[in-house]
Amino acid sequence: MQINYQGQVYKPDFAKAIKLHNGRIVLVQKIIFGLFMFLFTISILIGIIYSPGSLPLPYVIAMFIPLVFLTLPWWNEYMQINMYQSSANIYKEEISGIIDEKGFTINSVKMKVNYLWDAIIKIQKTDDIVLLYQSKNCFNILTRSLFASEEEWSQLVAFLDDRFSKTIK
């Protein structure tokens, strides 16, 4: 088996890959941080309403600083997706490669890399995206649009299911 791929991972697919990577943890973070933000805001407002003038203004302003940090789950994913524009991102330019029984290659203007399947510790996939992980937060993105035909995409998905169903859970 040898599958060639070529193309570009566009920003919408890059965003889907980031969201797939982040998983449900972002939703959990938004719920927990949102709850803390709500409770913290209520406690500040109660303090201001029931004891107006007793807190110095700089102290009141300083109490709002943690609220900025509690918004992290909302703007962190946005910042990750905007890394698409980074000069280090190989996916915003044309990439190509070969997938076979030994591993896969990724070629771009900036780099040429050959990965063996033994280096892959985890895969995640949806109907149109596959993430191949070399470590917890280091992954390569393969999208359906990189493949010349639906048959090649299906062949890749079947190969990955067979290869990794036995070794990675």
Same domain for 77 and 118? no
Q: Give 108-160 as a DSSP string.
A: -SS-EEEEEGGG--EEEE-SSEEEEESSSS-EEEEEGGGSSSHHHHHHHHHHH
In the block, residue with structure tokens 């992290």: 72
The whole-number pLDDT of residue 169 equals 43
The whole-number pLDDT of residue 166 equals 57
Q: Distances from the Cα of 166 to the Cαs of 28, 61, 132, 156, 163, in angstroms?
A: 30, 56, 16, 16, 7
What tens-digit pLDDT sequence spans the chain (169 residues)? Answer: 899 999 999 999 999 999 999 888 888 988 999 999 898 888 878 877 877 667 677 776 777 788 788 888 888 888 888 888 888 888 888 999 999 999 999 999 888 999 999 999 999 999 999 999 999 888 999 999 999 999 999 999 999 988 887 554 4
In a domain, 133, yes or no: yes
In the chain, the number of structural domains is 2
Same domain for 63 and 80? yes
Which range marks the domain in which residue 48 is found?
Answer: 19-84
The whole-number pLDDT of residue 168 equals 47
Same domain for 101 and 76? no
In a domain, 14, yes or no: no
Structure tokens at 25: 């943890």
In a domain, 140, yes or no: yes
The whole-number pLDDT of residue 56 equals 73
The whole-number pLDDT of residue 76 equals 82
